Structures are given as C-alpha cells and as structure tokens.
Amino acid sequence: MGFSYLILMVTIATAFASPINNQIHLLKPHSGSAGYKHSNLNCLSWRLAVETDNLQDWTVVPQECADYVGHYMLGKQYRQDCDYVAAEAYKYAKGLNLTGDGKDVWVFDIDETTLSNLPYYALDTVAFGAIPYNATLFDEWVTKAAAPAIPGNLKLYKQLVRLGFKIVFLSGTREAFEQPRIRNLKAVGYTQWEKLILKGDNDHGNAVEYKSSKRKALEEAGYRIRGNIGDQWSDLLGSNAGDRTFKVPDPMYYIG
C-alpha cells in the first residue's frame, strides 16, 4: 500500500460518515484507474461503455468490477469527473442571454446528480451496485434524508441561480417521498427552486417517457429549458430534452 493510497484513504475517511469508513477497509486495490484486473473484463472499458450509453439495460455492476467501481466512486476521479461536467455546464450557461422573464429554466435530476446516494451504495449490502437493487432498503435510505450534495453540482446550482436561471428538479422519486426529499435538498444547500417534480401515481411509462412528458408540460407552460443535467441517459433522451444536456458519471446503476 503506497503513501498516496494512504492519503486517499484518509481523505475518504474524513469525507464521509461512519458506514463508509467500515467499507473502505474492505476494499482492496485490485484495479487501478486504468481498470486492469485479473479478469477477462476490463472495468474501465465497461465503465466507458456505460457512460457513453453503448451498454444498455444492465441490471447490476459486474461482480469483478465491484471493487473498481468502489475505488472510482470514493476516490478523486469521480469527484473530478463531476467537477469537469459542472464547469462545462457553467461555461455554457454564462454565455447565454437570459430574457429576464423568469422562464429560463435549468433541469436537474436528483439522485446521483443533485444528491449523492454514495453512503448507501458503499454499504457492503449494496456493494456499489454489484448486489441487485433492493427497493425496500433504498426507500428506507431516502426516508432518512441524509444524502450529501454532489459538490460540483451544488456549486453549479448556485452559479445558475446567481445568473438568473430558475431551477427545476425533475426526479423519478415517487411523490410519497416529497417531504424527506425537500428536507434533504434544503439541508445540503439547495434552498430554492421553481418546481420540484416527482413521480405521481398517474405517471406511467418508462423513465424516458415520464421525463419527456414532464419537460413537455414545462415548455407548454412557457418555460424554456436552456440546460438539463442528469446521471442517466434517460434524463437526457426523449423529447423536450433542453437546448443542451450534460451527463454526470454514474457507474452504479442503470435506469432505462
């Protein structure tokens, strides 16, 4: 274990609450950022295929890439990748002319875009998505309203508000979780928004259809979607996607 690896571990240990700290020491550096591992599957190739939407409809992180995804998510690469996307989004946003009528909106997805579920995903019962999704356990986690902000995207949010954009949170979270979601958003610094759109009992269809229909309704109400940011391609594909879309990394799960 090299010195820089130790520094990384210390950084991570101080950055997260205790459930993660326990997990850290279980992680073994079998694979580096280049994804080399004693396996036929190169985990960096796998992750790149995920991020480019070449790989679709996958249900779990491949077993042999669980450690790799854990190291990526807890290490600095994930944070730097997020920061880079946010910086590009800001560069684009600050070049736009807003009309000042309050109708220029920026759409944010919530999970793994606005809020990070990493403390939950790092549990050994979840294994960064290498163990199949358990809705009951995930719902319990959402109810706790304990998700930290993704730092780069919180900064982007604040910059956009300052530029005069109205913020729309559009999430596949069910309306039953509205109160914990609001508590969570406010607790970590997302203090204002134009709309918070969650999935109602009458919202049908897959994620692309659901999000497209909500964005269509926004545009029909006179809003202009100048930007749209999300961790899933289903946040960014379909109709009324926005003038520009930004993809946040997420190798832990796929929502089609």
Ligand X SMILES: *[C@@H]1O[C@H](CO)[C@@H](O)[C@H](O)[C@H]1NC(C)=O
The site for Mg ion (CB under 5 A) is made up of 109, 111-113, 231
Closest to 234 (Cα-Cα) out of 195, 205, 206, 200: 206
Q: Does 4 bind ligand X (CB under 6 A)?
A: no
Binders of ligand X: how many residues, by CB under 6 A?
5
C-alpha to C-alpha distance for 153 and 90, rounded to whole angstroms: 10
In the complex, minimum distance from the CB of residue 253 to Mg ion, in angstroms, rounded to a whole number: 9
Nearest to ligand X of 178, 243 (CB atom)? 243
Q: State the nearest-atom distance from the C-beta of 137 to ligand X, in Å.
A: 5
134 contacts ligand X (rule: CB under 6 A): yes
What does 137 bind: Mg ion, ligand X, none (CB cut-off 5 to 8 Å by kind)?
ligand X
Question: What CA–CA distance (Å, rounded) separates 11 from 105?
Answer: 36
* Closest residue to bound Mg ion by CB: 111
CB atoms within 10 A of CB 168: 20
6 binds ligand X (CB under 6 A): no
**Which of Mg ion, ligand X, none lies near 111, with the C-beta cut-off 5 to 8 A by kind?**
Mg ion
Q: Which residues contact 42 (CB under 8 A, 6 or more apart)?
A: 35, 36
Site for ligand X in 81-100 (CB under 6 A): 95, 97
- Told to check if 136 binds ligand X by CB under 6 A, we report yes
Q: Which does 231 bind (CB under 5 to 8 A by kind): Mg ion, ligand X, none?
A: Mg ion
Determine the interface stretch with ligand X among 2-10, 60-68, 107-115, 133-141 (rule: CB under 6 A): 133-141
109 binds, among Mg ion, ligand X, none (CB under 5 to 8 A by kind): Mg ion
Nearest approach in angstroms of CB 247 to Mg ion is 11
- Which residue number, 127 or 170, has a Cβ lying nearer to Mg ion? 170
The nearest distance, CB 219 to ligand X, in angstroms, is 20
Closest separation between CB of residue 53 and ligand X, Å? 27
The binding site for ligand X (CB under 6 A) comprises 95, 97, 134, 136-137
